[in-house]
């Protein structure tokens, strides 16, 4: 994997940062992509300090021009990318009767349009190389979650997107899979607790009681699974949705 180049979106923090660092540890050069390029510095620094190779790239994944420019820069600075992790995401939680057009459009745009644009740009390099790995970040919210009709729709949509990519790109030795995390301890879940007016420690404790392994997840739990799906050994795994949730999730 030492000659492979990976692109990880939303990699300035949380699951994206953990994934970028894990892929770098696996021997890949990593493009750390986020909306604000300066925010990628901590992830890039962590990778380079550990002896890895990384570059930070700023781009709005929902903007075609920015995406195409970013992928061209990555190919020039690191080499043609053949591993892609579509992780960029945002939350605009609200009940359906309170949800605004902007709440809906923003979430669907970043998650679905963003994954579409970045994948479209990167897959050309994968097809040319006759090798590729695509991992899309879904969520247990794809099964339904109160106050997240926009997020749930986007994450469910990414599962259909993933399965179709697997069908279309399989002949080029490109696999596509989705990872669907459950409760993962990140700044995003902490912000959700704050919006709910709930103490984060109490929220984590309550969540852990509902999880089979009796703990909440860490970003590294998701990164380990993505590492496998991005590996040479996962070449016969495609079109799958793997729930990284500490146990069975509702609806499974």
Catalytic residues: 151
Q: What is the CA radius of gyration of the chain?
A: 17
Buried b / exposed e over 104-121, threshold 16 CB at 10 Å, is bebbbbbbbbbbbbbbeb
Q: What is the separation of C-alpha 174 from the centre of its chain, rounded to a whole number of angstroms?
A: 18
Distance separating alpha carbons of residues 71 and 9, to the nearest angstrom = 11
H or E, element range at 224: helix 219-229
Beta bridge partners of 217: 184
Contact of 89 with 10, CB cutoff 8 Å: yes
- What length is written for the chain? 252
Q: Is the dihedral of CA 17, 23, 29, 31 positive or negative?
A: negative
């Amino acid at each position: 994997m030492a000659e492979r180049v990976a692109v990880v979106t939303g990699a300035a923090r949380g699951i994206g940062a953990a994934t970028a660092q894990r892929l770098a540890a696996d021997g890949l050069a990593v493009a750390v992509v986020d909306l604000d390029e300066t925010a990628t510095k901590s992830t890039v620094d962590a990778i380079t300090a550990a002896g890895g190779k990384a570059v930070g790239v700023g781009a709005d994944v929902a903007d075609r021009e920015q995406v195409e420019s970013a992928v061209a820069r990555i190919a020039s600075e690191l080499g043609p990318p053949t591993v892609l992790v579509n992780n960029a995401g945002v939350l605009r939680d609200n009940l359906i009767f309170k949800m605004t057009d902007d709440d809906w459009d923003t979430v669907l745009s970043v998650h679905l349009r963003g994954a579409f644009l970045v994948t479209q740009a990167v897959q050309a390099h994968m097809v040319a190389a006759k090798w590729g790995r695509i991992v899309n970040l879904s969520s247990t919210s794809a099964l339904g979650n109160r106050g997240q009709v926009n997020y749930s729709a986007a994450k469910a949509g990414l599962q259909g997107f993933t399965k179709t990519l697997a069908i279309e790109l399989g002949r080029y030795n490109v696999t596509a899979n989705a990872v669907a995390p459950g409760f993962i301890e990140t700044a995003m879940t902490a912000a959700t607790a704050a919006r709910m007016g709930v103490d984060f420690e109490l929220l984590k404790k309550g969540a852990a009681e509902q999880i089979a392994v009796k703990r909440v997840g860490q970003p590294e739990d998701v990164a380990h699974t993505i590492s496998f799906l991005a590996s040479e050994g996962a070449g016969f795994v495609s079109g799958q949705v793997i729930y990284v949730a500490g146990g069975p999730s509702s609806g499974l």
